[in-house]
Amino acid sequence: MNFVLETLRVLVMSLLYNIEAFVRLFVPRRRKSVTGELVLLTGAGSGIGRLMALEFASLGARLVLWDINEEGNKETARMVKEAHGVRAHVYTCDCSAREEVYRVANQVKREVGDITILINNAGVVTGKKFMDCPDALIQKTMEINSLAHFWTYKAFLPAMIAANHGHLVSIASSAGLIGVNGLADYCASKFAAVGFAESMALELLATGCDGVKTTIVCPFFINTGMFEGANTKWPRLMPILEPDYACRKIVDAVRRDQVLLCIPRSMYISLALKSILPTKVGVLLGEYLGAFNFMAKFKGQGTKSD
């Protein structure tokens, strides 16, 4: 195909895709059924992971719950059973340990079956200034928030590719799109998670595996305790998200095969402005929005999942 034809194709398809995107603003994609799908949730023992487990169970999905907190994980399974009569398969796993991820993944495949929806949700935050953060905590942040995604993909993606069916969900963060003062290690880990998920989505498309969908979730702070004390200068524009609301939006995005979910919607605007504005203007707006002081009163519970 020569230059003229390729260019014409790009222009025509770009127009069609933009029209499609505009229509989707008013007519969203139909929600797909997750009944019978085998959903694996990391960080399922508390917070948004627990809420997603309950939500997917209500929709008829089967559940595999991973968490380093054995008691919290069992409590989630008990809540799922009581609320929806669904038995969740519970596994204790330290997602920062590569060999443990592989070992527990093999156990899951033997005992339960092939995972069809993988949700990488486990996460930690130190909330310390970079120069005050011990090396061990920085390493742990990278291992859990980003490297763990590598190992779970390696473990469960081959079966999805073979069946050309599945869904990969990365619970990242708005801090994986825009740097935040006081969150250098966390931002680095979430930028890595976003970049990895985007690259893997392209790799799947390039190999013709269009049946394995991907969703990247980039929320602002969620009120789960993980970011306790974090604040927002303009709560109407950038509110601290309630966990139930965030959970519903995430599950809905998965069911609609939404590639990127930013919540609240103002994060889309912030991301767009970051890409086009001069750096000094971006810094000025960041100061106006309170981005320099988000973590000023942070207390946090650094080992809780997102």
Neighbours of 222 (CB within 10 A): 23
Q: Using DSSP, state whether 270 is helix, strand or coil.
A: helix
- Enter the tokens of residue 80: 């799922």
- 153 is known as an active-site residue: no
With a CB cutoff of 8 Å and minimum separation 6, the contacts of 10 are none
What is the spatial distance between Cα 49 and Cα 178, in angstroms, rounded to a whole number? 24
Which of these, 174, 186, 193, 130, lies nearest to 269 by C-alpha position? 174
Q: Residue 263 is encoded by which pair of tokens?
A: 């919540």
Least Cα distance to 141 among 183, 88, 200 occurs for: 183
Q: Which two tokens stand for residue 215?
A: 């969703």
Q: Which of 186, 245, 268, 288 is catalytic?
A: 186
**Tokens representing 265?**
């919607």
What are the beta bridge partners of residue 67?
A: 92
Report, as residue numbers or ranges, the catalytic residues.
186
